[in-house]
Amino acid sequence: MARVLLLSNGHGEDLSGALVGAALMARGVAVEALPLVGHGSAYRQRGIAVLGPTREFRTGGLGFTSFHGQLSELLGGQVAHVVASLLRLMRRRGRYQLVVAVGDLVAVLGAWLGGCRCAVYLVAYSSHYEGKLRLPWPCGWLLRRRRVSRIWSRDALTASDLSQQLRRPVDFLGNPFLDAAVEPALARTTAPRQLCMALLPGSRMPEAGANLELMLRLLALLPQALHQPGSLQLRAVLVKSLDAATVRQRAAAHGWRARAHDRLERGGLELELSWSGAGAALARADLVLAMAGTATEQAVGLGKPVLQLVGQGPQFTDGFAEAQRRLLGAGVHCASGEPGTSMTLEATARLAWALMAELADPATGPELRGRLARTAQERIGAPGGTERLAAAIMELLPPVDVRSATQEPVQPRG
């Protein structure tokens, strides 16, 4: 039986890796995973063996964070944990037919240290940031090595750019993380309904709690027309560690009161709270208020307009938000101003109202949705990336005995 190790370094990277891993297991491949940051819950949920131990960190990665975030990574032991994980991988050299890196330089380096053939889904880098991708050293050197059998990018522009830079083929097959949101979108009702806004305050605590408070302040500033009962549907998708009791306590400080376990209200506004079902929330949404990474990319991939609200970090800072706009294009909007100030929140509320009015207008709504659909295709690609990547990985493996396709996933030995 062919063995594949999925090596990922980030929340969204884990999701994409887990989706591909599940597709490989359905084809009879033994799959294990090494998540370098976080607990790898996306892998565990799909029955993929995780090489432990794992740890959760505030920033969820080693990349686009504030100086304070980078310092907390060092003090919190994140760098030491990643190094220990890579050393664990080196001790397992020769165990796998293929190591698949999902992420950035850290994942690429880890796959190289695995000592066997590897493939790279370079989801963390894009030429849309600057027009020409500048890979950090020694990422470019590693990607040119013969041991790297295939390279896949996150968009067509990056594939073309890197193919020229590396002087070898780089392919774009789509983004698996989009597939996690597509199925709920296909089931979305087409019946007439009220406008709906989805709130994505992020997945890392304690930042997600502070982000939610900022969003609650913003909602109170929306025009009074939206405060009328039934005029606007609001749904927040929260990380499980941001529990209902904590939400109620934080919300009370901003004039919101709990109506039920999963409901907050303030005047005529009612906010539904959810601790799962991000894909369903995005499918229902007309507008997405986001302070998140992968979930924002899923929203753009579904053709939803995104309104950013910059926070204090350590992840969703002004720099992160600006880079996200360059990555995802014209479908992402952000009001200018100092993060968290009343003036910036008021400007964001006006922008939200303008976007909803444009969506609701029979003359401008279809045109806007058409532009968003074209942006989705350009920046994220078509659904189905999971199966296309899994099929491409299968081409790199020895033939699989189809009788093994129903076997249980191999458990790690340590």
Quickly list H helices, 51-132. Answer: 67-75, 78-90, 105-113
Sign of CA dihedral 196, 182, 60, 315: negative
Assess if CATH 3.40.50.2000 describes domain 3-174+384-406.
yes
What is the token pair recorded at 79? 């760098």
Is 40 within 8 Å of 54 (Cβ atoms)?
yes
- Give a three-class secondary structure readout of 273-307: EECCCHHHHHHHCCEEEECCCHHHHHHHHCCCCEE
Ordered by start, the domain boundaries in the chain are 3-174+384-406, 183-379
Which among 293, 288, 201, 285 has a CA at the least distance from the CA of 247?
201
Tokens at residue 230, please? 């039934």
Angle between helices 176-186 and 385-394 (to 10 degrees): 140
Q: Which residues contact 363 (CB under 8 A, 6 or more apart)?
A: none
In tens, the pLDDT along 93-134 reads: 778 999 999 999 989 988 888 788 999 999 999 999 989 999
Mean pLDDT over the full length of the chain:
88
Q: What are phi and psi of 15, to 5 degrees?
A: -60, -50
Q: Kindly give, in sequence order, each residue whose CB lies less than 8 Å from that of residue 72, ignoring residues fewer than 6 positions away.
A: 58, 59, 314
Sign, CA dihedral 19-5-103-377, equals: negative
Pairing mode of beta strands 3-8, 98-102: parallel
Per-residue pLDDT of the chain (414 residues; tens, 9 = 90+): 899 999 998 889 999 999 999 999 999 999 999 998 878 889 999 999 998 766 565 544 444 444 344 434 444 456 676 777 777 777 777 789 999 999 999 899 888 887 889 999 999 999 999 899 999 999 999 999 999 999 999 999 999 999 999 999 999 999 999 999 987 666 554 444 689 999 999 988 899 999 999 999 999 999 999 998 889 999 999 998 899 999 999 999 999 999 888 999 999 999 999 998 888 999 999 999 999 999 999 999 999 999 999 998 888 999 999 999 999 999 999 999 999 999 999 999 999 999 999 999 999 999 999 999 999 999 999 999 999 999 999 999 987 655 544 444 445 444
What is the CATH superfamily name and number for domain 183-379? Glycogen Phosphorylase B; (3.40.50.2000)
Per residue in 151-174, pLDDT tens? Answer: 999 999 999 999 999 999 999 999
Rounded to the nearest 5 percent, the helix, strand and coil shares of the chain are 45, 15, 40
* Cα separation, 181 vs 385, whole angstroms: 12
